[in-house]
Amino acid sequence: MTEPRAPARTCGLSRGLTFALALSAIGAVRAHAQGPGSAGAEVLQIGAGARAAALGGAYTAVADDSDAVFYNPAAVAWLPQSAGLAYQAYVQDVTVGSFSGALGGGRRIAFGAGLLYLDAGSIDEVVPDPTYGGERGRETGERVGATEAAGRFAAAFGFADGRASAGAALGFVTSDLAGVGRSAAFADLGAQARIGDRLSLGASLRNLGTGMSSEEMGDAPLPSQARLGATYRRPLGTVYGAAAFADAVWGIEEETAGLALGVEGGLLPPDRSISAVLRLGATLGEGEGHLGRLRFGGGVALLGIGLDYSVQVFEYLGTIHRVGLRWSR
């Protein structure tokens, strides 16, 4: 006799919850979320770029790296032609990759784009077993995977004689949790200002949207954020320099607050033809006690091509490494 299968909705939900729990292991779902699946678009909660990761994600006021498009669309107004790639391996088979690019500032309107991709690997498929009333699971012999991707396209313009900029981005996020798909459109808004030659300020609203929708998994709100940031640069002699970065971050949907802090320093000549720096970052906030708060890293660059590295020690998950490659014309 052929064993009856559980309804497709129940199977899909079970698999989706399994992967939601797996994704929470890398810190993408905050500890205070209402439950597995209540926070949608985990990929939008993962920082992009190896340099940004080493600085704790304090990037709202940064405007010299194409990865800034993920944190504040207004940064695009200042960027030269540039691009960035980054890759990070988490626990098990979970990996994260990012790409960013900008067409170059100096124009009336400048454009940039970014793409984040999360691959949670694959696991053995387990579905409710009707023999036990669905209270137990049984393996089907198949393997299922989980992926999420988010892309955004940004436009920005400068004003006030080049001392300020404003920008906006439109994006789309999609997820596939064991064959159960959800998607949503979102928008970012941002502004930046330069005060003298050393201080930059930034503000942004990120991931504004109606939420992820799916008949099988239900709706889930996007992890919308409000950010205020500052960057202060100081030359140390003729060829050395240092910079400090700070962001205040509010989770609008999750009602959380936190700080992201970072410093970098080393060989930083004014023309940036060559550089070699060390970096240190930290995050302070609610629901992150299980994460490694400190991040370390460094970077070298020659003639517009840079290589970045960051490392983060998670309290329970071990050491996480991220590498990145940046190009700037």
Summarize pLDDT for 268-282 with one digit per residue, the tens.
Answer: 887 778 999 999 999
Q: How confident is the model at residue 52 (pLDDT cuts 50, 70, 90)?
A: very high
CA distance 49 to 259: 18
SS3 244: strand
pLDDT value at 8 more than 50: no
**Mean pLDDT for the stretch of residues 101-129:** 82
Q: Tell me, what's the pLDDT at 60?
A: 98
Q: How confident is the model at residue 329 (pLDDT cuts 50, 70, 90)?
A: confident
Q: How confident is the model at residue 70 (pLDDT cuts 50, 70, 90)?
A: very high
Q: Tell me, what's the pLDDT at 211?
A: 81
Residues 6+ apart with CB under 8 A from 12: 178, 179, 180, 216, 217
Average pLDDT over the chain, rounded to an integer = 82
Q: Tell me, what's the pLDDT at 320?
A: 86
Q: Tell me, what's the pLDDT at 39?
A: 53
H-helix or E-strand spanning residue 110? strand 110-128
**Mean pLDDT for the stretch of residues 285-295:** 65
pLDDT tens track for 300-319: 999 899 999 999 887 766 78
CA distance 290 to 310: 19
Do 269 and 239 touch, CB atoms closer than 8 A?
Answer: yes
Diameter over CA atoms, the chain: 82
Distances from the Cα of 7 to the Cα of 49, 105, 126, 143, angstroms: 41, 54, 13, 19
Q: What is the DSSP letter of 329?
A: -
Do 145 and 118 touch, CB atoms closer than 8 A?
Answer: no
**Mean pLDDT for the stretch of residues 127-145:** 69
Q: Tell me, what's the pLDDT at 298?
A: 97
Burial class (CB in 10 A: 0-12, 13-18, 19+), 134: middle
pLDDT value at 9 more than 50: no
Q: How confident is the model at residue 181 (pLDDT cuts 50, 70, 90)?
A: confident
Q: Tell me, what's the pLDDT at 176?
A: 85
Closest CA to 77 of 200, 159, 165: 165
Do 296 and 311 touch, CB atoms closer than 8 A?
Answer: yes
Please report, rounded to a whole number, the percentage of residues in the chain having pLDDT higher than 90. Answer: 55
Question: What's the sign of the alpha-carbon dihedral 42, 137, 11, 143?
Answer: positive
